[in-house]
Structure 1
Amino acid sequence: MRAFAIFAGVALIGAMLFTIFSFTATPAAPSPAAEQPSRETLQERLKRVPGDHRGWAELASQYVDQARVTGDPSFYGKAEGALATAAKLNAGDDAVLTSQAALAAGRHEFTEAARLAGRAIDANPYGAAAYGVLADAKTQLGDLRGAQRAVDEMLGLRPGVAAFARASYAAELRGDTDKAREYLEYAHNDAFTPADQAYARYYLGELALHAGDLKTAADWYAKALRAYPAYTPALAGQARTAALGGDLNEALDLYDTVVKRLPLPQYLIEQGETRIKAGQPADWTLLQAQRKLFAAAGVRDDLTWAEFEADHGDPAAAVRHARAEYDRNRSLVAADALAWALLKAGKPAEALPYAKEATATGWRNPLLSYHRAVIEQALGRPARVDPTFDPTLPALARFS
């Protein structure tokens, strides 16, 4: 999902992921050293000025972002260490609290993220970044009104790519795709770095993809890669459009590159489903290895495993993971995951209230709509399944 594309993923999303809507671009190739003055790195500055609590908080934020960009959860431990130093120096500073909130969000501890972001706002009501983390956390906790209030505050304080992207997602969750697209166009117009341009174009592509417009989606993904060739989510978008368009060989070639660059669980599941669709065996070995790495780094990702087990594993395990996620974070996606897990476990009557909750806001999410329709059909109720939806590739329909 867009709040976590990291933040996610999400999820990205989902990720999100969890996406804090910051992006650390790979720097351009530098000029020869003789032609440019030497620049002090943040680490060098902290060696020289170890009492700089904001510097330690900034370093922690960079580590959180690197965890998302690289898919390496060990950066969360590094962020935790930097924040421990920052907190010893000035625990009540808004920059320290905001970085702590971002770390909690990255680990999917959204209640703690919201608490810390609230403390940061109390310390400095004009800190736009804290409102961004608060909006993300509130979204994952199912408090869409609270998330919208935080987005509005952020828009008022610092309108730009990060704020417009969050406003777009908030509009999308309430079913207003026109407004969601409008905000993303604002983000695109405001973007001046290649990374920001790629980011905005990618999510314009995602909007088109989930509306069933593969051609427009592919065009936006291509434009994102022209702006920033190293932007892996756009390459994953191209793999999705190829798979959904029936070109499975092209999709698998693209997924091979995607997972070599960024072996996130979402991409590994998408690759596995595409292999199955192509008549090849799915190999979940790397996925299970990543699962252990993320757990060891303190990332609680019951949502991903609920969805995976429901579609490709043990329905009982799916229900356990889905209930754990829903009990902590009552987002629309968590409600959907619980509904689908319960259906797969043979409990459609128990599943239906959660499916209704997941679709209550008008969000035009094809996967959620499909899940609800199948649940209602299992109960003998009239329900229309979108004939264009491919149930063999569910991970490709999840919002990143």
Structure 2
Amino acid sequence: MDNRVWVPGTSLLAGPPTPRRARRWLRRVLVAALAGGVVAGLGLMLPEERPHTAVPPPAAGAQAQAQVSTAVTSGVPAALPQLTALIGQQERRVRARPEDARAWAVLGSAYVERADRTADPADYPRAERALRTSLRVRAAANAEALDGLAALALARRDFPTAKEYGEQALKAAPNRWTAYPPLIDAYTGLGDYKAARAALDDLLELHTGAATRPMVMARASAVYRDRGWREDAVAQLTDAAAAADTPVEQAACLTGLGELAWERGDLQDALRHFEAAVRLDPDQRAAQAGRGRTLAALGRTQQAFAAYGAALARYPSPQDAYELGELYEAQGMAAPALAQYAQVKALVRRQVAAGVDEALLIGRFEADHGDPHEAVVRLRAEWERQPGIEVADALGWALHRAGDDKEALAYATAATDTSKGGVRSAPYAFHRGLIEQGLDLSAPARRHLQEALRLNPYFSPLRVPAARAALDALGDPADEAVPGAGG
């Protein structure tokens, strides 16, 4: 029986999805507005509008700030207090010397990273203004600004734009390693796995320094994870954590190891890594949420509520709020679940207002807790624009929820067929299994539901019971031969 909390007719966003033509028009307007005039939010005038002013003398700790500046533009994570200090320093610098293209690029990149660390999208428009100003000041060979714009596009889930800027950055500085990670993520988000692997191969052939090698290994780990090479992914991240120079870098690697342990259902290992990451870096948001997820799977529900609550109080992420809502729902706590879903809606609206493409999260929410038909409309548009594996899975599931299992199966297969770019994922296998059950394909349905529970017996507090119930309904396999596992 489906006991989920339903919120019919309550879309995360008012109104239908923005048509592609309207989105293109809006983007042109925003770009034109951002390219000239006063830099809003900082009160800064562009170079031709303001006379030159001498840069103030270096403040105490300037050498440390210079190191953080280099880290930010080199793809190495920085501690949140250091980021905040760096942003203040760079804001003062661009006020004093508005023609300093690198200062604008550092400022923009620091905004992007701070937004990622805090889940506060208000930094994204600031980042875009700073990075576009850097390009306006110096358009030629400005790889730092292009890297920053690629990272910003990725943070907003705009893979076509990330690909565009990433390729420009690579052309401007072919031996600069920071151009490759955004390109790898962009190609993956666009479903171009051959290009993603080629970009990783090129990255691994570069002679990167010791300071950046851990982040290169972490990037390789992410690609290996996506391809299902879990042991290779763990080995790369373990080496990266051992080689990390700072607690923040090490915490990022340990968080990744926690995620890998979670995905294979190793709860104790996942919790150990998440808690170690939080001890090293209390601002490691993903580790905080991972800790809540793992505690819930261990049956330590009250501690899980507290962990999620603490994470959301400091870093209100819509994805984390969604997870907490489903945990309440799984515990039969309908009122707190509905309150949490209301928070998800508010947080999604805030993200969208800052230019983030939240079609994937909106589609997932609508499919399970709102209007599945609206989910299909939104996810079809997203698939047309950036046909990655996550979108294939979400669209297939939305079609299933809307009653079209035949079409749903094509997308679910694309998400799970590892021979064609799909991945081995417990939620994806669960979705495919229920779609196949709806089509009376008992043998493959049983196989994929069993695979979901084998990959991670704890993958969702709501969907694990549904998977077990579906398997019970399917019963034991018939005596006739079962087709090969394939896909």
TM-score range, shorter chain: 0.7 to 0.9
Stretches of structure 1 lacking an aligned partner (at least 5 in a row): 1-19, 29-39, 396-400
- The offset of 1:21, in angstroms, is 6.3
- The offset of 1:155, in angstroms, is 2.6
Question: How does 1:289-308 map onto structure 2 within 5 Å?
Answer: 289-308=346-365
Question: How far, CA to CA, are the matches of 1:125 and 1:267 in structure 2?
Answer: 37
Are the aligned partners of 1:366 and 1:389 in contact in 2 as well (CA < 8 Å)? Answer: no
Aligned to 1:323: 380
Aligned to 1:376: 436
Match of 1:51, SS? coil
Question: How far, CA to CA, are the matches of 1:87 and 1:368 in structure 2?
Answer: 41
Are the aligned partners of 1:46 and 1:55 in contact in 2 as well (CA < 8 Å)? Answer: yes
User: Compared with structure 1, are the counterparts of its residues 161 and 311 closer, same or farther at alpha carbon in structure 2 (3 Å cutoff)?
Assistant: farther
1:26 partner amino acid = L
Are the aligned partners of 2:427 and 2:459 in contact in 1 as well (CA < 8 Å)? Answer: no
Are the aligned partners of 2:117 and 2:285 in contact in 1 as well (CA < 8 Å)? Answer: no
CA RMSD of aligned residues (A): 2.0
Are positions 1:130 and 2:187 aligned together? Answer: no
- TM-score, normalised to structure 1's length? 0.87
User: Compared with structure 1, are the counterparts of its residues 69 and 394 closer, same or farther at alpha carbon in structure 2 (3 Å cutoff)?
Assistant: farther
Are the aligned partners of 2:132 and 2:145 in contact in 1 as well (CA < 8 Å)? Answer: no
Question: How far, CA to CA, are the matches of 1:106 and 1:174 in structure 2?
Answer: 22
Match of 1:77 among 111, 125, 142: 125
User: Compared with structure 1, are the counterparts of its residues 277 and 135 closer, same or farther at alpha carbon in structure 2 (3 Å cutoff)?
Assistant: same
User: Compared with structure 1, are the counterparts of its residues 144 and 347 closer, same or farther at alpha carbon in structure 2 (3 Å cutoff)?
Assistant: same
Match of 1:215 among 245, 265, 268: 268
2:102 partner amino acid = R
Q: Which moves more between the two structures, 197-206 or 230-239? A: 230-239
The aligned length equals 366
Match of 2:401 among 335, 338, 344: 344
Question: How far, CA to CA, are the matches of 1:231 and 1:394 in structure 2?
Answer: 27
2:129 partner amino acid = G
Aligned to 1:311: 368
Match of 1:134, SS? helix
Are the aligned partners of 2:75 and 2:178 in contact in 1 as well (CA < 8 Å)? Answer: no
1:217 partner amino acid = A
2:302 partner amino acid = N
- The offset of 1:44, in angstroms, is 2.7
User: Compared with structure 1, are the counterparts of its residues 120 and 321 closer, same or farther at alpha carbon in structure 2 (3 Å cutoff)?
Assistant: same
Q: What does the per-residue CA deviation read over 1:294-342, in whole Å, with 9 as the maximum and x for residues that have no partner?
A: 1111111100111111122111111122112211111111100011000
Q: What does the per-residue CA deviation read over 1:211-240, in whole Å, with 9 as the maximum and x for residues that have no partner?
A: 011111111112212222332221211111
Aligned to 1:266: 319
Aligned to 2:480: none
Identity %: 38
Question: How far, CA to CA, are the matches of 1:261 and 1:365 in structure 2?
Answer: 30
Aligned to 2:411: 354
Question: How far, CA to CA, are the matches of 1:191 and 1:312 in structure 2?
Answer: 41
Aligned to 1:254: 307
Question: How far, CA to CA, are the matches of 2:432 and 2:239 in structure 1?
Answer: 33
Greater gyration radius: 2
Match of 1:41, SS? helix
Match of 1:270, SS? helix
User: Compared with structure 1, are the counterparts of its residues 394 and 326 closer, same or farther at alpha carbon in structure 2 (3 Å cutoff)?
Assistant: farther
| Runs of at least 4 residues off by over 3 Å | 389-395
Q: What does the per-residue CA deviation read over 1:152-195, in whole Å, with 9 as the maximum and x for residues that have no partner?
A: 22233336232212211111121111111111112112212111
Match of 1:98 among 98, 122, 147: 147
Question: How far, CA to CA, are the matches of 2:460 and 2:241 in structure 1?
Answer: 32
- TM-score, normalised to structure 2's length? 0.72
